[in-house]
Chain A
Amino acid sequence: GIQVEQSPPDLILQEGANSTLRCNFSDSVNNLQWFHQNPWGQLINLFYIPSGTKQNGRLSATTVATERYSLLYISSSQTTDSGVYFCAADTGTASKLTFGTGTRLQVTL
Chain B
Amino acid sequence: DAGVIQSPRHEVTEMGQEVTLRCKPISGHDYLFWYRQTMMRGLELLIYFNNNVPIDDSGMPEDRFSAKMPNASFSTLKIQPSEPRDSAVYFCASSLGGALGANVLTFGAGSRLTVL
Contacts and interface: CB of A to CB of B under 8 A. Distances in A.
Nearest to A50: B100
A41 B110 contact: yes
Nearest to B50: A94
Interface residues of B, number: 26
A56 interface: no
A42 B55 contact: no
Interface in B41-61: 42-45, 48, 50, 55-56
Contact of B103 (A44, A86, A93): A93
B109 A93 contact: no
B7 interface: no
A41 B109 contact: yes
Contacts of A96: 33, 45, 48, 56
A86 to B, nearest CB: 7
A101 B42 contact: yes
29 contacts: A33-B105, A35-B107, A41-B109, A42-B109, A43-B91, A43-B93, A43-B107, A43-B110, A44-B107, A45-B105, A48-B104, A50-B100, A88-B105, A93-B98, A94-B31, A94-B50, A94-B97, A94-B103, A95-B31, A95-B33, A95-B97, A95-B103, A96-B33, A96-B45, A96-B48, A97-B45, A98-B45, A101-B42, A102-B42
Interface of A: 30-31, 33, 35, 41-45, 48, 50, 86, 88, 93-102
